[in-house]
Amino acid sequence: MLDPVGDRTLSHLLDEQAALYPEQTLLVFEDRSGAVSWLSYAEVRERVLRCAAGLARGGVGQGDFVLVHLRNCPELLVTWFALARLGAVLVPSNVANTAPEIEHILAVSGARLAITEPDLLAPVEQAAGEGVEIVIARGDAGARRSFEELLEGDDAPPEVQVSSNDVCELIFTSGTTRKPKAVMITHAMCLRAGLDAVHCLWLQPGERCLTALPLFHVNAQAMSLFGALTVGGTLVLIEEFSASRFWGQVRSHAATQTAVVAMQLRTLIAQPPSPNERDHQLRRLFFAINVTDQEKDTFEARYGVTLINGYGLSEAMTLLTVSPIAGPRKWPSIGLPSPGRRLELVDAEGLPVATGEVGEITVLGDPGRDILLGYYGDEAATAAALRNGRLHTGDNAYADEDGYLYFFDRKKDMIKRAGENVSAIEVEATLIDHPGIAEAAVVGVPDDIRDEAVAAVVVASSSGGLSADEVMEYCRGHLSKFKVPTVVRFVDELPKTSIGKIRKDELRKLLAESEEPAL
């Protein structure tokens, strides 16, 4: 069956646009110090070819996985497209990941090469062990191979037959399991993501898409990178988000499109007002649920821009719904299905629900084209997510008579923390491994800035022998910073149902009655 992507790959997309716009700026990069650099389409493509050749010289070939533990930077972008040209697979790692988390990623993917930077080296080095080479980018490599060495030489990369159905990325996503699962994303899904961004946000040639969201997440990849590349625009990549600098960056880089998450929006509202805040060229600001009406109204009035609400997830390579650019937006609706997307709300039996009734959001589509190919190395999780020709998201919504969707609640045991998804089950499993903890349950509780705080309710193995600080310190050694509980409560026993299931509703009530704030 024909589709808009065809059998094209990331390499086709870059080659096509570099031929059309060789001298146009593809990438503007602003690092943490405020230094700015530029690369044209032709320059990016040349670096990609050199990098691909260098990776091939080092033994990377079709079907290999490479872990990349980098902040936003040109090296991450170049590496991804170089791997894609070789038929290899990018495995991006959240820079907050600890050594045990990186060890899990390496174990699942089987990656034998990792690329990182000097101040992020320690956890990668701890996790790598024997047989995993580490390449250092963006700094002194010491005795290790440097990223710049990959770009040396003038040999061409090997010719490899790569299909649009081939996997080009593994995204590890927190779900309702003990450990993050590896979402298999294909070339076709990435190219579709760019088309989704263009169609939903009405992006135009020459668009300047700015992001301070991390490129190891699909939001920045789809909305900013592939959106810009698809229309021959410019990606303005900010190394790290800073609330005090972000709006100035939007203005100074003449951004026409950007995206923020709830935590960023709230911290922007909290900044001291500036007289020129509404003097910008921003036409599109994408957002995804989780703010109040007052926060939305305050932000839009102050910064002179309309929030475009929407919904997506890694398993569908992001955008599934979006508020229409032309037409009623019906805030707080998450909008209408994106062009070409087929969504259905179903009940527990998989049957469609009536208008106004809450049902699970499911996505009809072809694995590897419209939705994830599967979870790498996890047939059970794949079978649970892909049923009856559709992706079951686990997220609930209802639709009005005009087909607009309204988000109802998120995945079971999922906590939204400053734009990151935290699996309660993963945190609980870490807590239970502590010898001083007999039982533990984790829930999300409201946080004025970061959406939700991670709260742990703990039954100690013996009375008086464990403190909240000790619990948090233990978690810091095993979990990313954003997963570490900032609220710890000790109880004699956890409330349970007659069949032994923990009553998390009662735990939330208990925590709500406590006056102690989250850290």
Domain presence at residue 456: yes
- 439 falls within a domain: yes
CB 405 within 8 A of CB 321: yes
**Structural domain contains residue 98:** yes
Mean pLDDT for the stretch of residues 23-51: 98
Burial 111-138 (b: 16+ CB within 10 A, else e): bbbbbbbeebbebbbebbeeebbbbbbb
State yes or no: pLDDT of 436 exceeds 70: yes
**Residue 439 pLDDT grade (very low, low, confident, very high; cuts 50, 70, 90):** confident
Bridge partners of residue 313, in order along the sequence: 318
For position 410, what pLDDT does the model report? Answer: 66
Answer whether residue 217 is part of any domain. Answer: no
**How much is the mean pLDDT over the chain?**
92
Of 484, 409, 494, 419, residue with least CA distance to 454: 484
Q: How far separated are the first and last CA of the chain, in Å rounded?
A: 53
Looking at residues 489-497, what average pLDDT do you find?
84
- Would you state the pLDDT for residue 163? 97
For 251, the 3-state DSSP assignment is helix
Tens digit of each residue's pLDDT (9 = 90 or more) over 208-247: 999 999 999 999 999 999 999 999 999 999 999 999 999 9
The answer as to whether 216 is a domain residue is: no
Task: Give the pLDDT mean for 264-269.
Answer: 91
* pLDDT over 70 (residue 146): yes
CA dist 137 and 131 (Å) reads 19
Domain assignment present for 42: yes
Q: Is residue 246 part of a domain?
A: no
CATH (domain of 443): 3.30.300.30
Domain final position from 142, 162, 182: 162
Q: Region 358-362: what's the mean pLDDT?
A: 94
**pLDDT at site 499:** 47
At which of 162, 186, 218 does a domain end? 162
Range of the domain at 110: 10-25+38-162
Neighbours of 142 (CB within 10 A): 9
Task: State yes or no: pLDDT of 139 exceeds 70.
Answer: yes
Among the three residues 162, 184, 214, which one is the final residue of a domain in this structure?
162
Residue 363 within a domain: no
CB 96 within 8 A of CB 102: no
Which run of H or E residues covers position 27? strand 25-30
- Chain segment 152-206, per-residue pLDDT in tens: 988 999 999 999 999 999 999 876 566 889 999 999 999 999 999 999 999 999 9
Provide the domain count of the chain: 2
Tell whether the model's pLDDT for residue 454 goes beyond 50.
Answer: yes
Does 354 have pLDDT greater than 70?
yes
* Mean pLDDT of the 422-429 span: 84
Give the residue-averaged pLDDT of 434-443.
88
pLDDT tens digits for range 76-104 = 999 999 999 999 999 999 999 999 999 99
Q: What is the mean pLDDT of residues 339-359?
A: 93
Q: In the predicted model, is pLDDT for residue 419 greater than 90? A: no
Separation CA 436–CA 445 (nearest Å): 24
Using a pLDDT cut of 70, give the percent of the chain over it.
96
Q: Check whether 517 has a pLDDT greater than 70.
A: no
Q: Running DSSP on this structure, what letter comes out for residue 441? A: E
Q: Is the pLDDT of residue 518 over 80?
A: no
Average pLDDT over residues 52-74: 97
pLDDT confidence of residue 173: 87
Instruction: Please give the pLDDT value at position 411.
Output: 62
